[in-house]
Structure 1
Amino acid sequence: MLLDTETCYTALQSRDTRFDGSFFVGVSSTGIYCRPVCRAITPKAKNCSFYPSAAAAEAAGFRPCLRCRPELAPGLAWVDAESRLARMAAQRMEADGLSDQSIADLAESLGVADRHLRRVFAREYGVPPVAWLQTRRLLAAKQLLTETTLPVMQVAMDAGFGSVRRLNAIFRQRYGLAPADFRKRNGDGQDTTESVTLSLAYRPPLAWGTLLRFLEMRAIPGVEQVEDAAYQRTVAVNHKGATLRGWIAVENKPERNQLAVRVSASLFPAVNQVLARVRFMFDLNCVPGEIEEKLGEMRAGGQKVFEPGLRLPGCFDPFEMTVRAILGQQITVKAARTLAKRMAAHLGEPLTTPFEELTVTFPTPARLCALEQPVEDQLGPLGVNGARARSIRALAEALQSGAIRLGPGADPEREMANLLRLPGIGPWTVQYLAMRALGWPDAFPHTDYGVKKALGNPSEKDMLALAQQWAPWRSYAAISLWNHLGHADGEVP
């Protein structure tokens, strides 16, 4: 990534939130690197150098600022083709830490040569993938040391170091302090007996109320809910071959441009994975100014329909969301939620949570694959017809085998083609899943009833031509049209 020094310094002087996470500034007079929104006194231009990632700043010998905390910075959107590969790799590493993979394995799973991935990654982030991953682990450990009272041994394991000895060595080498000493100086952690609350930053504005309404309308009873301006849900995640089960609650802290993510103690070993999924679900890497520049004047029925701070609602559990989409084909939102609720109640695992209405985790792909065949005999009594039951089974098998990958770090174009091969999943559903399960910003379900209605029922040709002006943010355009109608989207809830 090429950085213009004058532009970066101007953004630093104005503490421009649009650039938060887009670059980091190293200050030679202090040996510290900061986010461009840091509230410290602005250093002189001659003392500043600019880096495309926190890892690049650390590789240059700088330590992270304790005031602006670089570990909280939002990531980068990845719509432009030249950077997509590098950013997919970064998302994949952020989501699972490569706990059981090498960089070569990662490259192979992305369909490219190891050497090519390393070259593209270094051009985008300024350091090789291994150095980037080490910095992510260090910053994750720093956040846990600052915001929690977890034992240092657990911090080392949860951050991905594998041992306290390795964490101590790298932390002391990079930051000049042992982890325990760092906590004594800078920690303000909370009790972690039941849960811990961690922070994730975003670039303002954030249309939080609109995002919550979208999620609430589609929430599966017993699994997720919106209450008191917060999103709450049960969680089942695979971590190193084991399924961890617990719950999370997410609130907005607009005065700090951060989300507060409360995570149950049972999920601590997978905390980085959980936070990566929350980033994906709430589209925290979004650069709202770029989207508003393209869609700000968007109209439907003579009215402006774009809301500043709009986010693309992702999902926490791609399998769960895709199942609900399949269940919702050609029926109402309410009916789809009812079917999903029955599946969760009959096939999921009971769970005790602090929230009275959240009582079960959604069944995993492994659970669906383990059902006795034919699958329609198992799902039919729940109200799921045979065609949809077979679609759900095929999806579970594809995810279980690795034939399809959904969520952070997946290649949208490749996985959209894979999804089309599954029985019962057509072009419309694929576009919807590209938006929500793959985070693709330029999907457009042009056959959707709600989209057609909002645009005055134009012909397919005219609608596609109209939507072209919204590229590469057509997913956000579709969300704007659904929100404008004031009710759920058409074929798939």
Structure 2
Amino acid sequence: MDDSTLPAGLDRTTCYRALSARDARFDGLFFTGVKTTGIYCRPVCGVKTPRESSCLFFGSAAAAEAQGFRPCLRCRPELAPYALQQNLAHAVWQRIAGGALNDGNVERLADEVGLSSRQLRRVLLQHFGVTPVELAQTQRLLFAKKLLQETTLSMADIAFAAGFGSVRRFNALFAQRYGFAPTEVRRETARLGEPDPSQALVLRLAYRPPYDWPRVLRYLGGRAIPGVETAGGEAYQRTVRMEGHQGWLRVTHMPERHQLRLEIDPALSPVLMPMLMRVRAQFDLDANPAVIEAHLRADPLLGEGIAAAPGLRVPGAFDAFELAVRAVLGQQVSVAGATTLSGRMAERFGEPAATPIAGLQRHFPDAARLASAEPGDVAAIGMPGSRAATLVQLARFAADGGLRMPPGATLEEAVARLRSVRGIGEWTAQYVALRALRYPDAFPAGDLGLQKAAGEDGVRLTEKQLLARAAGWSPWRGYAALALWMGM
């Protein structure tokens, strides 16, 4: 067996034990190819456990498919949470999973990454055992399979949503890779009925349990931008504008299945692939709570809170620019004050949105719109002129691609890049890096709330003292910050 694509710490013995136990902690970390059936599965698959001698283990679905295995129709590998790591290969993978190679232009992706196409190929072969094109093909096919099994979209809509240039190309590659036509998968799910363009698309995204949904929803609810998003009761809802398409989405929790349920405006079907990647990041679905909490709960300051509320996540952002603007609006004001200002920002500079959801009637302004605004007009919503000038500079920075960090960029590099915008200091940069750019070790040590929460007997730590106190929480300092914030 070649287990070179398995993540660090996994070997054949560990994988087979996890498979035998159907251990959800390993879901997405590896896939099992069964030689006697030619099918590959998630470790949580409910079928009878195969003999160890019949199993091959792979660190990615692409690696399994490269060896000729086809995905299980029961456990559905496309549902598995991802095994993301903070390295160049996985940063590239995220771009590919979001559709960066749907046009087949490897040279352009390599240029964006800062590598030659040959270097890019070598990096992905080393980490995933497949070439960039093979990785992209697997992602497109699995995404198409997901749409076949969960929606009533037409074959043409599925093909284009999954990044195929034509239905013919989609049908041919699907049949070549899986040995049967897409229509056979659709027949298995014929119970879904006929397509109805007036009805929401419903998709599911899996995570590794546990997941503290009430806390995530409460955190997002306290920071929801009026008119743009709501979070309360049992759902998160928001307006969406991506690549010229507009609509809305709604997210609810399915705890018995360890999944989130997405209801999506059918008008957004052309951008489903990148949109689902945003939702995964916003709700931190690829975190491995067992690893993170095992590291943090050894600290007495964090241990009790983590034990009382397992399933810690870092709520992210659907849109990085939107979160960055809110972070600047939150400088030296309360959370409630920043929420009020962000609602005014959407009302003054955003566009109207048509949704069937009460309270959702605005799109947040994009970077290009705010970049063209006068600082005086921005300040008129109720903030100092210096902060308004920072927002305009931030918008120009974002419009020029400043928030799109190069794959493999370190936390220090990301923070330095953010701080190049006049008016953005260490706290704001760390906060944006944590929630919008998804750096798990980002830590806004200048936060007064964190300094108070980490102190003893009501004594607030200094920023320097807090950084020293948090050194042992690395590389998960961001999760420690959320544990302290949510416990306050």
Q: Is TM > 0.5 for Structure 1 vs Structure 2?
A: yes
**1:167: Cα distance to partner?**
0.1
Residue aligned with 1:50, SS = strand
**What is the alpha-carbon distance in structure 1 between the residues aligned to residue 265 and residue 343 of structure 2?**
23
**What is the alpha-carbon distance in structure 2 between the residues aligned to residue 198 and residue 409 of structure 1?**
30
**What is the alpha-carbon distance in structure 2 between the residues aligned to residue 119 and residue 285 of structure 1?**
25
**1:378: Cα distance to partner?**
1.7
**What is the alpha-carbon distance in structure 2 between the residues aligned to residue 126 and residue 311 of structure 1?**
30
Answering whether residue 255 of structure 2 is matched by residue 271 of structure 1, we say: no
Answering whether residue 342 of structure 2 is matched by residue 343 of structure 1, we say: no
1:21 corresponds to which of 23, 28, 53:
28
- The answer as to whether partners of 1:218 and 1:333 remain within 8 angstroms in 2 is yes
Residue aligned with 2:153, SS = coil
**What is the alpha-carbon distance in structure 1 between the residues aligned to residue 405 and residue 250 of structure 2?**
23
Where does residue 144 of structure 2 map in the other structure?
141
- CA deviations 1:343-378 (Å, max 9, x no partner) are 11121111121211111110111211233xxx2222
- CA deviations 1:69-125 (Å, max 9, x no partner) are 00101011314xxxx101100111122333457333223323334333322222221
Ranges in structure 1 where 5+ consecutive residues have no aligned partner:
486-493
2:221 corresponds to which of 194, 216, 223:
216
- The answer as to whether partners of 1:407 and 1:437 remain within 8 angstroms in 2 is no
Residue aligned with 1:300, SS = helix
Answering whether residue 64 of structure 2 is matched by residue 57 of structure 1, we say: yes
1:237 corresponds to which of 233, 242, 245:
242
Where does residue 193 of structure 1 map in the other structure?
197
2:132 corresponds to which of 125, 129, 139:
129
**1:301: Cα distance to partner?**
9.5
- The answer as to whether partners of 1:26 and 1:50 remain within 8 angstroms in 2 is yes
Where does residue 38 of structure 2 map in the other structure?
31
Identity, % of aligned positions: 49
The answer to which of 115-124 and 328-337 deviates more is 115-124
The answer to which of 380-389 and 133-142 deviates more is 380-389
Answering whether residue 364 of structure 2 is matched by residue 359 of structure 1, we say: no
**1:438: Cα distance to partner?**
0.7
Residue aligned with 2:418, SS = helix
Residues 395-406 of structure 1 aligned to structure 2 (within 5 Å): 395-405=394-404
1:102 corresponds to which of 102, 105, 119:
105
The answer to which of 476-485 and 87-96 deviates more is 87-96
**What is the alpha-carbon distance in structure 1 between the residues aligned to residue 80 and residue 409 of structure 2?**
22
The answer to which of 412-421 and 321-330 deviates more is 412-421
Letter in 2 for 1:90: W
Residue aligned with 2:203, SS = strand
- The answer as to whether partners of 2:35 and 2:54 remain within 8 angstroms in 1 is yes
**1:30: Cα distance to partner?**
1.0
**What is the alpha-carbon distance in structure 2 between the residues aligned to residue 278 and residue 391 of structure 1?**
28
- The answer as to whether partners of 1:206 and 1:309 remain within 8 angstroms in 2 is yes
**What is the alpha-carbon distance in structure 2 between the residues aligned to residue 302 and residue 314 of structure 1?**
23
Where does residue 391 of structure 2 map in the other structure?
392
The answer to which of 261-270 and 94-103 deviates more is 94-103
The answer to which of 171-180 and 155-164 deviates more is 171-180
**What is the alpha-carbon distance in structure 2 between the residues aligned to residue 404 and residue 113 of structure 1?**
23
Where does residue 491 of structure 1 map in the other structure?
none
CA change 1:379–1:460 in 2 (3 A) is closer
Answering whether residue 483 of structure 2 is matched by residue 484 of structure 1, we say: no
**1:389: Cα distance to partner?**
1.8
**What is the alpha-carbon distance in structure 2 between the residues aligned to residue 301 and residue 108 of structure 1?**
43
**1:126: Cα distance to partner?**
1.7
Letter in 1 for 2:32: V
Residue aligned with 2:248, SS = strand
Letter in 2 for 1:337: T
**1:416: Cα distance to partner?**
2.1
**What is the alpha-carbon distance in structure 1 between the residues aligned to residue 289 and residue 303 of structure 2?**
23
**1:415: Cα distance to partner?**
2.8
2:19 corresponds to which of 12, 22, 47:
12
CA change 1:59–1:113 in 2 (3 A) is same
CA change 1:101–1:317 in 2 (3 A) is farther
Where does residue 489 of structure 1 map in the other structure?
none
Residues 265-344 of structure 1 aligned to structure 2 (within 5 Å): 265-300=266-301, 304=305, 307-344=309-346
Letter in 2 for 1:336: A
Residue aligned with 2:148, SS = helix
- The answer as to whether partners of 1:145 and 1:187 remain within 8 angstroms in 2 is no
**What is the alpha-carbon distance in structure 1 between the residues aligned to residue 383 and residue 112 of structure 2?**
34
Residue aligned with 2:437, SS = coil
Where does residue 158 of structure 1 map in the other structure?
161
Where does residue 259 of structure 1 map in the other structure?
260
**1:19: Cα distance to partner?**
0.8
Residue aligned with 2:218, SS = helix
**What is the alpha-carbon distance in structure 1 between the residues aligned to residue 303 and residue 228 of structure 2?**
39
- The answer as to whether partners of 2:88 and 2:408 remain within 8 angstroms in 1 is no
Residues 48-87 of structure 1 aligned to structure 2 (within 5 Å): 48-79=55-86, 84-87=87-90
Letter in 2 for 1:440: Y
Residue aligned with 1:441, SS = coil
The answer to which of 245-254 and 90-99 deviates more is 90-99
Q: If the length of structure 2 is used for normalisation, what is the TM-score?
A: 0.93
The answer to which of 278-287 and 180-189 deviates more is 180-189
**What is the alpha-carbon distance in structure 2 between the residues aligned to residue 481 and residue 408 of structure 1?**
30
* Number of residue equivalences: 474
Where does residue 184 of structure 1 map in the other structure?
187
Residues 364-443 of structure 1 aligned to structure 2 (within 5 Å): 364-371=366-373, 375-405=374-404, 412-443=411-442
Where does residue 452 of structure 2 map in the other structure?
453
CA change 1:225–1:339 in 2 (3 A) is same
**What is the alpha-carbon distance in structure 2 between the residues aligned to residue 18 and residue 301 of structure 1?**
21
The answer to which of 184-193 and 44-53 deviates more is 184-193
**1:436: Cα distance to partner?**
0.4
Where does residue 89 of structure 1 map in the other structure?
92
Ranges in structure 2 where 5+ consecutive residues have no aligned partner:
none
- The answer as to whether partners of 2:92 and 2:407 remain within 8 angstroms in 1 is no
- CA deviations 1:147-183 (Å, max 9, x no partner) are 1111101110000011001001001111122222321
CA change 1:127–1:187 in 2 (3 A) is farther
**What is the alpha-carbon distance in structure 2 between the residues aligned to residue 144 and residue 291 of structure 1?**
32
CA change 1:277–1:48 in 2 (3 A) is same
Letter in 2 for 1:184: R
Q: If the length of structure 1 is used for normalisation, what is the TM-score?
A: 0.92
CA change 1:98–1:392 in 2 (3 A) is farther
- The answer as to whether partners of 2:149 and 2:186 remain within 8 angstroms in 1 is yes
